[in-house]
Structure 1
Amino acid sequence: MTRSRVYRAGRLEAEDFPPSELTRYLADPDAVVWLDFTEPTEQDLAEVAQALGLHAIAVKDAVQKHQRPKLNHYNNHGLLIAYETSINAKTGALHAQELAVFLTKQALVTVGKSSNMSMDAVTERWDEEADQTAAGVGYLLYTVLDAVVNSHIDSLGVLDDLVEQLEDAVFSESPTSMSLQKRSLRTHKSLNGLRRKVSPMHDILNSLLRRENPLYTADMMPYYQDVLDHVLYANEQVESLRDLITTIHDTQVNLQGNRMNLIMKKVTSWAAIIAVPTLITGVYGQNVPVPGTDHVWGFWLSTVAIVLASIGLYTSFKRKDWL
């Protein structure tokens, strides 16, 4: 356990206490406890699991990595899995920090599955809005979810900038540019990864907003509704950016096809121009008598025919924009 706090009536009464004192604090019905763990094992959570009556499956899911975002309900508690995300503005790579949260009537237990996971921003908000902590676990959970969803929106903002850069690059760079294709695929991959983290949050918030939810309080509903609105906005942004990337890819493919058609058109036109001299010289290369053979005027006649036919074809193709 890395950090712990006890709130009573909106006041911070104790901090960084050992797990052995958890049962004593929970004996007070007015106390609200927060515990924070970083990369724990099932053995590390054993004492807390016994004090809070946590289900063995819930403890296992909280420890194992790469869980799907979800909210599972058990007899006297719930387990929420969510991801805090960030995007590298240079590479477009997605970084996701997995977070498990145990929910009980009096306790909130956060389990960071990565050493990079930090709850500092959340605890700073608790300190700034000390009066709101009187709402208990419902408010503590709200701030955690709000931080998670805000990280999704921040990530989408970075991806939006990257997609705009791709839109500009489609026409400023060569359609066959490998750099453009790599950036496009990398951005698309990060967006799909973010979509898997954002999309399930809608069901999680809907579940928390139900009246049969043990943590339901009318006072906290506007806060959770605000987070749900942010989730809906994030989902809309994800789908919009996916459509944009698809459009960018289709545009790039069309540009490549148009470029290939232009090249084939030019090659075909030059082949047609070259075919005329080849035809004329081929006729005079036959081993049969041809008018003008062994005469100077025959040479000049074939030469003039080659020049005039080539100029005529070139002018015709140029007028049709084939060259």
Structure 2
Amino acid sequence: MIKILFCKDKKIEEGKYENLALYKNSVDLLWVDIEAAKDEELAVLDEVFSFHELAIEDCIFPSQPKIDEFTDHLFIVIYALLNSEGEITTEELNMFVGQNYVVTVHEKPVPVLTNIAKNLSLENTDFIKTPDFLLHAIVDKVIDGFFLLVNKIDSEIDMVEESAVEKPGKEMISRLFEIKKKIISLRRIIVQQQKVIKQITTKSNILIKEEMIPYFDDILDHIEQMNNALETYRDATTNILQWLNS
């Protein structure tokens, strides 16, 4: 499924698939979102945008978070969180960023993208100005999703700690091990995202304007806060486990 939004003369419109090549060469900002793509839909990555074959291949097969720089576009892979309850479930989000476009490719629905598209559809042209601004909006909302999960882990540890005092036992130990496993998994994902965003801020590229760097730095600050919090939570679960086993 392909969804196309474009901005021209400060007006947001939903585009048609058959006019995609025209939009690429005539609009101020083009956003193409490809979800659960069929072969003919993936073909636009080559036929319309002429993206590098290795980047297109990464959209088909699982990839780790990364950023690759090509002559006229960036290729970025990050993970978006799909849930904030139970097991951590993520979706690989592949993004191409060019002079006047952003192309996002993913298999499952990503709520973050849906919400940003709604804001665009409201014709809030001050919300999204340029491709690097749209890229920032996407990355920022993706990281915010992880922040929500980190806060829930904090609450979960508090609840388990209170229960452990009142009713210590194997059930509490099992719950703590589950929380600790979640913390380790979450931290690994966040660290990978952090490396990608750092490259966005440090690489010299005309597609990411100088005035956007502080906004990406702000995301890095949020990630550092999450890393510190997760380290504290990991230590807390270790201490509670030691107390329960003493």
Residues in 1 aligned to 2:192 and 2:106: alpha-carbon distance in whole angstroms: 19
Residues in 2 aligned to 1:237 and 1:128: alpha-carbon distance in whole angstroms: 37
Q: TM-score, normalised by structure 2?
A: 0.89
Instruction: Report the equivalent of 1:155.
Output: 149
Residue 211 of structure 1: how far off its partner (Å): 5.5
Instruction: Report the equivalent of 1:133.
Output: 128
Q: How does 1:80-159 map to 2 (within 5 A)?
A: 80-85=76-81, 86-88=83-85, 92-114=86-108, 116-118=109-111, 119-126=113-120, 127=122, 129-134=124-129, 136-159=130-153
Q: Is the 8 A contact 2:97 2:132 kept in 1?
A: no
Instruction: Report the equivalent of 2:179.
Output: 187
> What RMSD in Å do the two structures reach over aligned CA positions?
2.0
Residue 160 of structure 1: how far off its partner (Å): 0.9
Residues in 2 aligned to 1:58 and 1:77: alpha-carbon distance in whole angstroms: 11
Instruction: Report the equivalent of 1:7.
Output: 7
In structure 2, do the counterparts of structure 1 residues 172 and 35 end up closer, same or farther at CA, with 3 Å as the change threshold?
same
Q: Is the 8 A contact 1:63 1:113 kept in 2?
A: no
Q: Percent identity, please.
A: 21
In structure 2, do the counterparts of structure 1 residues 179 and 215 end up closer, same or farther at CA, with 3 Å as the change threshold?
same
Residues in 2 aligned to 1:22 and 1:153: alpha-carbon distance in whole angstroms: 36
Q: TM-score, normalised by structure 1?
A: 0.69
- Code of the residue aligned with 1:250 in structure 2: it is Q
Residue 189 of structure 1: how far off its partner (Å): 1.8
Q: Is the 8 A contact 1:208 1:215 kept in 2?
A: no
Residues in 1 aligned to 2:225 and 2:25: alpha-carbon distance in whole angstroms: 41
* Structure 2 residue matching 1:34: 3-state secondary structure: strand
Structure 2 residue aligned with 1:71, among 60, 67, 70? 67
- Code of the residue aligned with 2:11 in structure 1: it is R
Residues 109-150 of structure 1 deviation map (CA, whole Å, 9 limit, x = unaligned): 111221x4232211233347422423x101110110011000
Aligned length: 243
Instruction: Report the equivalent of 1:27.
Output: 25
* Structure 1 residue matching 2:211: 3-state secondary structure: coil
Instruction: Report the equivalent of 2:34.
Output: 37
In structure 2, do the counterparts of structure 1 residues 41 and 238 end up closer, same or farther at CA, with 3 Å as the change threshold?
farther
Q: Does 1:227 align with 2:193?
A: no
Q: Which moved further from structure 2: 229-238 or 38-47? A: 38-47
Q: Does 1:243 align with 2:235?
A: yes
